[in-house]
Amino acid sequence: MRYALEVMYDGTKFHGSQIQGNTPTVQLELNKALTTLLRTPTATYGASRTDEGVHARCNYYHFDVAEPLTGDLQYRCNAILPHGIAVKRLLQPTNPEFNCRFDAISRRYRYRVCAHRDPFLVDRALFYPFPLDRNLLDATAAVIKEYDHFESFAKRNTQTQTFICKIKQSYWEQKGDELHYIVEANRFLRGMVRGLVATQLRIAKNKETADHIRKIIEAKHSTKAFFNVAGHGLYLEEIIYPEGTFLVD
Protein backbone atom coordinates (compact mmCIF):
# COMPACT_ATOMS: atom_id res chain seq x y z
CA MET A 1 0.00 0.00 0.00
CA ARG A 2 1.22 3.48 -0.81
CA TYR A 3 1.13 6.39 1.64
CA ALA A 4 2.46 9.93 1.66
CA LEU A 5 3.79 12.21 4.37
CA GLU A 6 3.36 15.97 4.21
CA VAL A 7 6.35 17.42 6.04
CA MET A 8 7.89 20.77 6.94
CA TYR A 9 11.52 21.41 7.86
CA ASP A 10 14.18 23.94 8.76
CA GLY A 11 16.67 23.71 5.90
CA THR A 12 19.59 25.04 7.95
CA LYS A 13 19.56 21.80 9.96
CA PHE A 14 20.27 19.57 6.96
CA HIS A 15 22.52 19.25 3.92
CA GLY A 16 19.56 19.49 1.56
CA SER A 17 16.47 17.34 1.25
CA GLN A 18 17.65 14.56 -1.07
CA ILE A 19 19.50 11.54 0.28
CA GLN A 20 23.30 11.65 -0.07
CA GLY A 21 24.65 8.51 1.53
CA ASN A 22 24.97 9.04 5.30
CA THR A 23 25.07 12.84 5.08
CA PRO A 24 22.27 14.31 7.25
CA THR A 25 19.39 15.15 4.90
CA VAL A 26 15.62 15.35 5.29
CA GLN A 27 15.04 12.20 3.25
CA LEU A 28 17.61 10.21 5.25
CA GLU A 29 15.95 11.16 8.55
CA LEU A 30 12.50 10.21 7.24
CA ASN A 31 13.82 6.86 5.99
CA LYS A 32 15.43 6.16 9.35
CA ALA A 33 12.30 7.06 11.30
CA LEU A 34 9.98 4.94 9.15
CA THR A 35 12.40 2.02 9.13
CA THR A 36 12.51 2.12 12.93
CA LEU A 37 8.76 2.43 13.41
CA LEU A 38 7.70 -0.08 10.75
CA ARG A 39 10.53 -2.49 11.62
CA THR A 40 11.44 -3.01 7.97
CA PRO A 41 13.70 -1.07 5.58
CA THR A 42 11.55 1.76 4.18
CA ALA A 43 12.53 4.25 1.48
CA THR A 44 10.77 7.53 0.76
CA TYR A 45 10.58 9.45 -2.51
CA GLY A 46 10.31 13.24 -2.44
CA ALA A 47 8.14 15.63 -4.42
CA SER A 48 10.66 18.47 -4.65
CA ARG A 49 14.38 18.64 -4.04
CA THR A 50 15.59 21.57 -1.92
CA ASP A 51 19.20 22.64 -1.52
CA GLU A 52 21.11 23.03 1.74
CA GLY A 53 19.66 25.87 3.82
CA VAL A 54 16.35 26.02 1.93
CA HIS A 55 13.28 25.61 4.14
CA ALA A 56 9.99 23.87 3.39
CA ARG A 57 6.62 24.67 4.86
CA CYS A 58 5.26 21.89 2.67
CA ASN A 59 6.95 18.97 0.95
CA TYR A 60 5.69 15.45 0.27
CA TYR A 61 7.32 12.02 0.44
CA HIS A 62 5.61 8.80 -0.62
CA PHE A 63 6.52 5.28 0.54
CA ASP A 64 5.15 1.74 0.39
CA VAL A 65 4.16 -0.65 3.16
CA ALA A 66 2.84 -4.21 3.21
CA GLU A 67 -0.04 -3.59 5.64
CA PRO A 68 -2.45 -0.68 6.28
CA LEU A 69 -1.09 1.95 8.67
CA THR A 70 -2.74 3.22 11.83
CA GLY A 71 -3.48 6.91 12.32
CA ASP A 72 -0.86 7.40 15.04
CA LEU A 73 2.10 7.09 12.66
CA GLN A 74 2.28 10.88 12.38
CA TYR A 75 2.59 11.20 16.16
CA ARG A 76 5.17 8.42 16.40
CA CYS A 77 7.26 9.91 13.56
CA ASN A 78 7.32 13.32 15.24
CA ALA A 79 8.37 11.68 18.50
CA ILE A 80 11.63 10.35 17.03
CA LEU A 81 12.47 12.75 14.17
CA PRO A 82 15.07 15.49 14.75
CA HIS A 83 13.70 18.86 15.87
CA GLY A 84 14.28 20.35 12.41
CA ILE A 85 11.53 18.21 10.80
CA ALA A 86 7.82 17.79 11.50
CA VAL A 87 5.26 15.53 9.85
CA LYS A 88 2.11 17.56 9.21
CA ARG A 89 -0.11 14.80 7.80
CA LEU A 90 -0.17 11.12 6.91
CA LEU A 91 -2.11 10.72 3.66
CA GLN A 92 -3.35 7.80 1.59
CA PRO A 93 -3.48 8.42 -2.19
CA THR A 94 -6.54 7.29 -4.13
CA ASN A 95 -4.23 5.97 -6.86
CA PRO A 96 -1.96 3.08 -5.73
CA GLU A 97 0.61 4.25 -8.32
CA PHE A 98 0.68 7.81 -6.95
CA ASN A 99 4.06 9.56 -7.34
CA CYS A 100 4.42 12.70 -5.25
CA ARG A 101 6.90 14.21 -7.70
CA PHE A 102 5.28 13.51 -11.05
CA ASP A 103 1.64 13.87 -9.97
CA ALA A 104 2.12 17.42 -8.62
CA ILE A 105 0.61 20.07 -10.88
CA SER A 106 2.43 23.06 -9.39
CA ARG A 107 4.89 24.20 -6.73
CA ARG A 108 5.07 27.58 -5.04
CA TYR A 109 8.16 29.20 -3.51
CA ARG A 110 8.58 32.32 -1.41
CA TYR A 111 11.82 34.25 -0.94
CA ARG A 112 12.06 36.64 2.03
CA VAL A 113 14.22 39.79 1.96
CA CYS A 114 14.74 42.18 4.87
CA ALA A 115 16.41 45.59 4.59
CA HIS A 116 17.10 45.99 8.33
CA ARG A 117 19.30 43.84 10.52
CA ASP A 118 17.10 41.63 12.72
CA PRO A 119 18.55 38.92 15.00
CA PHE A 120 15.24 37.03 14.86
CA LEU A 121 15.51 36.68 11.08
CA VAL A 122 18.99 35.18 11.02
CA ASP A 123 18.79 32.10 8.78
CA ARG A 124 15.16 33.01 8.03
CA ALA A 125 15.43 35.87 5.52
CA LEU A 126 18.10 37.50 3.36
CA PHE A 127 19.58 40.66 4.90
CA TYR A 128 19.85 43.03 1.92
CA PRO A 129 20.46 46.63 3.12
CA PHE A 130 20.41 48.32 -0.30
CA PRO A 131 17.82 50.68 -1.79
CA LEU A 132 15.59 48.84 -4.25
CA ASP A 133 13.32 50.21 -6.95
CA ARG A 134 10.04 48.45 -6.13
CA ASN A 135 8.44 49.42 -9.44
CA LEU A 136 11.35 47.82 -11.24
CA LEU A 137 10.99 44.64 -9.20
CA ASP A 138 7.31 44.48 -10.13
CA ALA A 139 8.23 44.96 -13.79
CA THR A 140 10.89 42.22 -13.83
CA ALA A 141 8.52 39.79 -12.09
CA ALA A 142 5.92 40.47 -14.79
CA VAL A 143 8.46 39.83 -17.56
CA ILE A 144 9.27 36.42 -16.06
CA LYS A 145 5.64 35.33 -16.58
CA GLU A 146 5.99 35.95 -20.33
CA TYR A 147 8.52 33.13 -20.80
CA ASP A 148 8.65 29.36 -20.42
CA HIS A 149 12.31 28.61 -21.27
CA PHE A 150 14.67 29.22 -18.35
CA GLU A 151 18.03 27.74 -19.29
CA SER A 152 19.70 30.96 -18.09
CA PHE A 153 18.41 30.24 -14.58
CA ALA A 154 19.54 26.61 -14.33
CA LYS A 155 22.85 25.98 -12.64
CA ARG A 156 25.53 24.64 -14.95
CA ASN A 157 26.14 20.89 -15.28
CA THR A 158 22.46 20.19 -14.62
CA GLN A 159 21.23 16.86 -16.00
CA THR A 160 17.73 18.07 -16.85
CA GLN A 161 16.35 17.12 -20.26
CA THR A 162 14.24 20.26 -20.69
CA PHE A 163 14.37 23.85 -19.52
CA ILE A 164 10.66 24.46 -20.04
CA CYS A 165 8.78 25.69 -16.96
CA LYS A 166 5.21 27.01 -17.02
CA ILE A 167 5.09 30.03 -14.70
CA LYS A 168 1.70 30.55 -13.04
CA GLN A 169 2.57 33.33 -10.60
CA SER A 170 5.50 35.75 -10.32
CA TYR A 171 5.20 38.84 -8.12
CA TRP A 172 6.67 40.81 -5.19
CA GLU A 173 4.72 41.79 -2.08
CA GLN A 174 5.43 43.75 1.09
CA LYS A 175 5.02 41.79 4.32
CA GLY A 176 5.59 44.16 7.24
CA ASP A 177 9.25 45.14 7.12
CA GLU A 178 10.05 42.36 4.65
CA LEU A 179 9.84 42.16 0.88
CA HIS A 180 8.81 38.76 -0.50
CA TYR A 181 9.07 37.26 -3.98
CA ILE A 182 6.46 34.59 -4.79
CA VAL A 183 6.76 32.31 -7.79
CA GLU A 184 4.64 29.31 -8.77
CA ALA A 185 5.22 26.93 -11.68
CA ASN A 186 4.60 23.37 -12.75
CA ARG A 187 8.31 22.65 -12.18
CA PHE A 188 11.57 24.41 -11.35
CA LEU A 189 15.16 23.92 -12.45
CA ARG A 190 18.02 23.47 -9.99
CA GLY A 191 18.87 26.87 -8.52
CA MET A 192 16.17 28.58 -10.58
CA VAL A 193 14.30 30.47 -7.84
CA ARG A 194 17.47 31.80 -6.24
CA GLY A 195 18.66 32.82 -9.70
CA LEU A 196 15.44 34.72 -10.39
CA VAL A 197 15.66 36.48 -7.02
CA ALA A 198 19.36 37.39 -7.23
CA THR A 199 19.03 38.70 -10.78
CA GLN A 200 15.98 40.82 -9.99
CA LEU A 201 17.60 42.28 -6.87
CA ARG A 202 20.70 43.21 -8.83
CA ILE A 203 18.64 44.91 -11.55
CA ALA A 204 16.58 46.85 -8.97
CA LYS A 205 19.68 47.83 -6.98
CA ASN A 206 21.52 49.08 -10.07
CA LYS A 207 18.39 50.79 -11.45
CA GLU A 208 18.61 49.03 -14.79
CA THR A 209 15.48 48.25 -16.83
CA ALA A 210 13.10 45.31 -17.01
CA ASP A 211 14.44 44.64 -20.51
CA HIS A 212 17.66 43.51 -18.84
CA ILE A 213 16.04 40.38 -17.42
CA ARG A 214 14.38 39.80 -20.77
CA LYS A 215 17.81 39.73 -22.43
CA ILE A 216 19.14 37.35 -19.77
CA ILE A 217 16.25 34.92 -20.29
CA GLU A 218 16.61 35.03 -24.07
CA ALA A 219 20.38 34.45 -23.88
CA LYS A 220 19.71 30.88 -22.64
CA HIS A 221 23.05 30.76 -20.80
CA SER A 222 23.51 30.61 -17.02
CA THR A 223 26.57 32.87 -17.05
CA LYS A 224 24.24 35.79 -17.78
CA ALA A 225 22.19 35.37 -14.58
CA PHE A 226 23.13 35.77 -10.92
CA PHE A 227 22.64 33.20 -8.16
CA ASN A 228 24.38 34.81 -5.18
CA VAL A 229 21.58 34.89 -2.59
CA ALA A 230 21.54 32.67 0.48
CA GLY A 231 19.39 29.55 0.61
CA HIS A 232 17.97 30.41 4.04
CA GLY A 233 15.70 33.11 2.56
CA LEU A 234 13.92 30.55 0.39
CA TYR A 235 10.82 28.54 1.36
CA LEU A 236 9.06 25.77 -0.54
CA GLU A 237 5.60 26.96 0.45
CA GLU A 238 3.09 24.68 -1.23
CA ILE A 239 2.82 21.72 -3.60
CA ILE A 240 -0.54 21.37 -5.34
CA TYR A 241 -2.10 18.10 -6.50
CA PRO A 242 -5.31 17.51 -8.47
CA GLU A 243 -8.51 17.41 -6.44
CA GLY A 244 -9.22 13.90 -5.19
CA THR A 245 -5.56 12.83 -5.06
CA PHE A 246 -5.85 11.78 -1.41
CA LEU A 247 -8.53 9.96 0.55
CA VAL A 248 -10.35 12.25 2.97
CA ASP A 249 -10.78 11.08 6.56
Q: Catalytic site residues?
A: 51
The residues near 197 (Cβ < 8 Å, ≥ 6 apart) are: 111, 113, 181, 229, 233, 234
**3-state SS record for the chain:** CEEEEEEEECHHHCCCCCCECCECCHHHHHHHHHHHHHCCCCCCEECCCCCCCCEEEEEEEEEECCCCCCCCHHHHHHHHCCCCEEEEEEECECCCCCCCCCCCCEEEEEEEEECCCCHHHCCCCEECCCCCCHHHHHHHHHHHCCCCECHHHCCCCCCCCCCECCEEEEEEEEECCEEEEEEEECCCCCCHHHHHHHHHHHHHHHCCCHHHHHHHHHHCCHHHCCCCCCHHHEEEEEEECCCCCECCC
64 contacts 2 by C-beta, under 8 angstroms: yes
Q: How many residues does the chain have?
A: 249
